[in-house]
Amino acid sequence: MKEYLTALKYLEGMQSWKNESLLYYKLYGNHAELNDLPNEDKYARLCLATALKSNNAEAICLAWQAMASNYTDQYEAGNNKLLLDSALYAGKQSLQVFKQQEDYIILQSQFAIVALNIASLYYLNIKPLQADSMKHYLQLAMVSGNKNNNTAVQVNSLAMLSHYQRQQGNMAGAESSLLQAKQIAENVKVKEHAVLHRLYLSLSEFYEETGHYQNALQYYKQSKDAFATLNNVQKQADIHLLEAQFNMEKKEQALYNMTQKATFRMKQIYLYIGIIILAFAGLLFMFRSYNYRLKYSIKKQQLLQTEKEEASLLAKLQEEERARLYLQKQDAELRAQLHQEHVKLKTEEAARLAAEAQLIQTQKEQLQKELLAGALHLEHKNDMLQNLKEKLQTEQISGKATRQLHKIINEEIRLDEDFENLKTELKDVHPQFFSRIQQHSKQKLTALDLKYCAYISMKLSTKQMALLLHVEPTSIRMNKYRIKQKMGLAKEDDLESFIARLSEI
């Protein structure tokens, strides 16, 4: 098998499909004899695949025959009915190819072998027995065997027919078939002792079954003689094979010795040629070495000069780089200094603006308080004058004094308009104060309530407010409580703090 595998490796890539198919067929046959079912299946399939690629009728016919035998062996191992159908299909494919391409097939006996195998499948494996199909393929095998003088196929076909006839009870037909097979096997020039051995044994078994013991013993002896002759022939064949192998080995050894001598002589020739080449190479090396040294010396001088120039240029570049880095450093320092100055100026400007804003806010608050105080004082004075006028109208005093008082009161009343102007100015300074007070109140506040709120905003105490309004401090506290209720504040809330928060908004 190693030789077949080596041959296959040699054929790789050559697309010699026919030869590859034949080699795979040989490998299939070897593994089938060894009962190696996996490799038998593998190489049978490869045989068919390469045969189909070759488009060679004989190779394809042989490959389908291999597949039929492979399926039969696989069936016998696993008893899978599908494999039996596959075996029949493959066998029939082989016969079909043979019929279509008969003129192009050299091995004509192949048709008879395939037909006999199909008949055997029908007889041994197909249940129930399909007798007509079996007889049909037996007839094909016998006709082809007779045409091509294939004694083994004819005898085996008649033996199978005899066995079938015995099963059917046709003993006369079974005997006739076996005797016809005996006549065919004995009348050939070259006896096939293996066929004769099996045939005589079948005749012996037949006559023993039918009670003709003398005939049975006679054919049993003939079977033993045929087997002995077969062994002698096999031994002679083995002896001839061994002699052939020995002679082949002697020739191979002689050829090996001659090859070794030729190889040794060739090695000597190669050695001499090598010595000459080495001598020439040595001279060439010496010449090239001298030439190389000369070129190396010149190249070294040029390299030293180049390195000197490069060093000078590098020093100049380093100096320029240092100068550039120094300028970059100076520029960075200047930029940092300018940035610091800019930040400092921005900080100072922000502080100045904040101080000015604070000053403006302080002045604004001070002016607001002054305006509010003046307005409240003016309102208080006008109230007092109004009360005085009313009292003068109800009490009796001299006419002159009355005129003088009226003059003074009228002058004072004229100042009422100033309160509204002051109030307007107060709104300009703090325009949201009175409206914000009204917005946060749950009930509308009166002018007196707003006056109290203004006093509270000015942070006047209860005592100061009582002196200005000429009322008791208790009245002031009652008015504060009433304003707190109008504002909707809780009992724990502080009115002064609430108004102060509204003043700061």
The answer to whether 228 touches 197, Cβ cutoff 8 Å, is no
Summarize pLDDT for 211-222 with one digit per residue, the tens.
889 988 998 998
Arithmetic mean of pLDDT, 362-371: 56
Residue at 502: amino acid letter? L
Residue at 474: amino acid letter? T
Torsion of CA 402, 403, 407, 410, to 10 degrees: 60
Summarize pLDDT for 431-452 with one digit per residue, the tens.
577 888 888 888 988 888 888 8
CATH no. for 2-250 = 1.25.40.10
The answer to whether 91 touches 110, Cβ cutoff 8 Å, is no
The top-scoring range by mean pLDDT among 200-204, 277-281, 374-378, 456-460 is 200-204
Summarize pLDDT for 253-270 with one digit per residue, the tens.
776 677 778 788 888 888
Query: What's the Cα-to-Cα distance from 11 to each of 15, 19, 58, 244, 291, rounded to whole Å?
Result: 7, 8, 20, 28, 53
Lowest mean pLDDT among 85-89, 100-104, 116-120, 253-257: 253-257
- pLDDT above 90 as % of the chain: 11
The answer to whether 150 touches 116, Cβ cutoff 8 Å, is no
Alpha carbon distance 370, 257 (integer Å): 140
Summarize pLDDT for 12-54 with one digit per residue, the tens.
888 889 899 999 999 999 999 889 999 999 999 999 999 999 9
* Three-state secondary-structure class, residue 127: coil
Contacts of 131 (CB under 8 A, 6+ apart): 164
- For the chain, helix (H) and strand (E) counts, in that order, are 18, 0
* Three-state secondary-structure class, residue 158: helix
Give DSSP secondary structure letters for 246-291: HHHHHHHHHHHHHHHHHHHHHHHHHHHHHHHHHHHHHHHHHHHHHH
- pLDDT above 70 as % of the chain: 81
Q: Cis peptide before 38, with omega less than 30 degrees from 0?
A: no
Arithmetic mean of pLDDT, 369-381: 59
Structure tokens belonging to residue 195: 């066929």
Nearest CA-CA partner of 123 in 87, 85, 163: 163
pLDDT at 489 over 50: yes
* Three-state secondary-structure class, residue 175: helix
- CATH 1.10.10.10 domain span(s) along the chain: 432-505
- CATH 1.25.40.10 domain span(s) along the chain: 2-250
CATH no. for 432-505 = 1.10.10.10
pLDDT at 151 over 90: no
Q: Kindly report whether the global pTM for this prediction surpasses the value 0.75.
A: no
Give DSSP secondary structure letters for 330-364: HHHHHHHHHHHHHHHHHHHHHHHHHHHHHHHHHHH
List, in sequence order, the alpha helices (H) in 79-192.
81-100, 109-124, 131-147, 151-167, 171-186
**Mean pLDDT taken over the chain:** 81
Contacts of 235 (CB under 8 A, 6+ apart): none
Count of alpha carbons within 13 Å of 262, Cβ hemisphere only?
A: 6
Is the four-CA dihedral 346, 349, 355, 360 of positive or negative sign? negative
Question: How many other C-beta atoms can be found within 10 angstroms of the C-beta atom of residue 177?
Answer: 23
Output the pLDDT for position 240: 63
